[in-house]
Amino acid sequence: MAEGKLVATQEVDQRVLSEAGIETAMVLRHQRIPFISYPYEWPFSLLKSAALLHLDIHMEALKHGITLSDASAYNVQFRGIEPVFIDVLSFRRYREGEAWAGHRQFCEQFLNPLLLRAIFGIAHNDWYRGRLEGIGTQELADLLPWWRNLSFNLLTHVTLQARLQRTAAVDKGASIRRAMHTKLPKHAHSAILDQLRRWISDLQPLRSAATVWQHYAEQTTYGEEEREAKGRFIAAFCRKAEPELLWDVGCNTGEYADIALSSGAKCAVGFDYDQGALERAIARAKAKRLNLLPLYQDGANPSPGQGWMGRERRSTQERGGADAIIALAFEHHRAIGRNVPLDQLVAWLVALAPKGIIEFVQKSDPTVQQLLALREDIFCDYDAAKFEAALKSKARIVAVEQVSAQGRTLYSFERT
């Protein structure tokens, strides 16, 4: 807890519980996490840091005769880009000779998603979201060419594990029962964790070359003066609003979340679907020690409520809690690029927070023209007047400023 690796936790005084009429053995009070996120929203580097934290905590616990009852990636959350372990009830006494009960879970929820990107160059996020328990070991093993088994790590943690699962399905669990009775010395238990840690530390995403929007900040169609004007507008907004939690919808590399955090915002969560841009945002947060959490999210297909009864993992909007949003160079990608009706898009953005900034991009802008280059222009209702009307139907427009010669305009709003 002192190092920030385990969520700060206190036991509530029994006298307080008695006075409240609560009869229970123990109640724990935890430090609040600004925003709950899920592994299918974490870019590669955040999933990697979460995996390393989990292994570090488990190895340290073993030194003191303690182990973890499971290895769920959902037991890790983030404060900025720093991972923190939140499930204190996972700790229990280690029993001499016991096998690692969470090995399969760790592989499917941490290791296999990382390998999918490191070996095949495929981001884990969409697959993981469709299978909440992670990337299945059998599925990953089926994708591997035979020569990959020359790797001891892959052979041990993927291929042989998949073979064990197939065998267990045929012999009705006899092989699993035999494995459960196999003694694993404590030093061997620690060695497995250490081996995994060294392997994961070296994993890097394949095909990490420039992505579509990774260099957008350097290649925008407006100049330095326009960029500075946008920064001033955001800074003035944040100095007045002082949001505890700000959402940057379409955060790209985190440039404007950085400005917001230096101008009064306490914590920021950035959303983008471009993996390269997200990794640059994470690098920015690390270099400048920003309280910024960049997450993978498609604005036209945000994380839904799912799992048991549709409530086990809540939707992005249900998790909410944003005091303000900024949505810069975002709406035209949804309205033009993804055919989302402009009035619905504005209503959705305003519903995310009570106040914020939305940038409107004119159809004549080179970026919009690029979106229209290979398709018919069917967007007769896409113009500034319609945008303003949609915004006024849901909010009060506080300030307006055109920041580019092409007509890019910032609107500050307060929800009515």
Q: What is the pLDDT of residue 212?
A: 56
Q: Is the pLDDT of residue 267 over 90?
A: yes
Residue 44 or 210, more confident: 44
Q: Taking residues 271-278, what's their average pLDDT? A: 96
Q: What is the pLDDT of residue 165?
A: 83
Q: Taking residues 308-332, what's their average pLDDT? A: 94
Helical (H) or strand (E) element with 191? helix 186-202
Helical (H) or strand (E) element with 335? helix 331-335
Residues paired with residue 6 on neighbouring β-strands, in sequence order: 85
In a 3-state reduction of DSSP, which class is residue 126?
Answer: helix
Q: Taking residues 121-147, what's their average pLDDT? A: 94
Q: Which residue has the tokens 């892959």?
A: 154
pLDDT confidence band for 221 (50 / 70 / 90): low
User: Mind listing the pLDDT tens digit for each residue in 149-193?
Assistant: 888 889 989 988 888 888 877 776 666 666 666 788 999 999 999
Q: What is the pLDDT of residue 216?
A: 57
In a 3-state reduction of DSSP, which class is residue 375?
Answer: coil
Q: What is the pLDDT of residue 24?
A: 87
Q: Is the pLDDT of residue 243 over 70?
A: yes
Average pLDDT, the chain: 92
Q: Taking residues 204-214, what's their average pLDDT? A: 67
Q: Which residues contact 76 (CB under 8 A, 6 or more apart)?
A: 50, 53, 54, 83, 84, 85, 86
Q: What is the pLDDT of residue 224?
A: 87
Q: Is the pLDDT of residue 210 over 70?
A: no
Listed as own residue / partner, the contacts of 131-137 with beta carbons closer than 8 Å and 24 or more positions apart are 132/40, 132/306, 132/307, 132/312, 132/313, 133/105, 133/108, 133/109, 134/39, 134/73, 134/105, 134/108, 134/109, 134/110, 135/108, 136/108, 136/112, 137/104, 137/107, 137/108, 137/112, 137/161, 137/162, 137/165
In a 3-state reduction of DSSP, which class is residue 364?
Answer: coil
Q: What is the pLDDT of residue 184?
A: 87
Helices (H), 121-156: 125-130, 137-143, 152-154
User: Mind listing the pLDDT tens digit for each residue in 93-112?
Assistant: 999 999 898 999 999 999 99
Nearest to 77 by CA among 30, 112, 136, 12: 30
Q: Is the pLDDT of residue 392 over 90?
A: yes
Output the pTM of the full model. 0.92
Q: What is the pLDDT of residue 402?
A: 94
> What percentage of the chain exceeds 70 in pLDDT?
94
Burial call 229-264: b when 16+ CB within 10 Å, e when fewer? bbbebbbebbeebebebbbbbbbbbbbbbbbbbebb
